[in-house]
Amino acid sequence: MKTIAKMRRQRHVEMSDNLKEWLLPRRKTQGRVWPKSQMNYWHKLARVLDRKKLPEMPYNAGRHAFASYHLALHENSGQTSLQLGHTRPDLLFSTYRGIHMSNGQPVNKKAGEEFFAILPAQPAKILQIQASA
C-alpha cells in the first residue's frame, strides 16, 4: 500500500516457503499481519524477550538476517536488493555483506539453506504476541 510503504514506494516481496508456514496460522482475509505501529511491535517483542530471559534483539536484526542469508543462499545481489527494496546496488554490500553468525563464522550458502528451512515445530508451541492499544 502506497501510504505505508517506506518512501511511498510499493514493494512486492516474495515470501519463502518457511515464512508462509510461520504466517499460515495467523492468516486473515485482509489487513496487516501486525495491525499496530512498528514501535508497539518492538515494545512487545522486548517484553517477550525479557520475560523469556532471551537477549535483546537489535533493531532491524530480522531484516539484516534475512538479507545476509538470502544473499548467501541465492548468490544474486540483484535479487536480494530487489527483495529489500534497495534502489542503489552498493547499499546491499555496504550494509549486509560480510555479516557473521553467532558462532563467529561468516554467513555462507549452507547457513542460508538452514535459515530458510526453519519451520515452526507445532502451531500450538508458537509464542503468540498480542497487539494492544
pTM: 0.75
How many domains are contained in the chain? 1
pLDDT digits 0-9 by tens, 36-72: 898 898 899 899 999 999 988 888 888 888 999 999 9
Helix ranges restricted to H, 8-100 = 17-23, 38-51, 61-74, 77-84, 89-95
- Residue type for 98, please? G
More confident residue, 85 or 128: 85
Which grid coordinates belong to 52?
523469556
> What is the extent of the structural domain holding 96?
60-120
Domain-located, residue 92: yes
Domain-located, residue 32: no
Domain-located, residue 111: yes
- 1 contacts 31 by C-beta, under 8 angstroms: no
Domain-located, residue 94: yes
Domain-located, residue 44: no
- The pLDDT mean for the chain works out to 83
Domain-located, residue 7: no
Distance between CA atoms of residues 66 and 113, nearest Å: 12
- 80 contacts 67 by C-beta, under 8 angstroms: yes
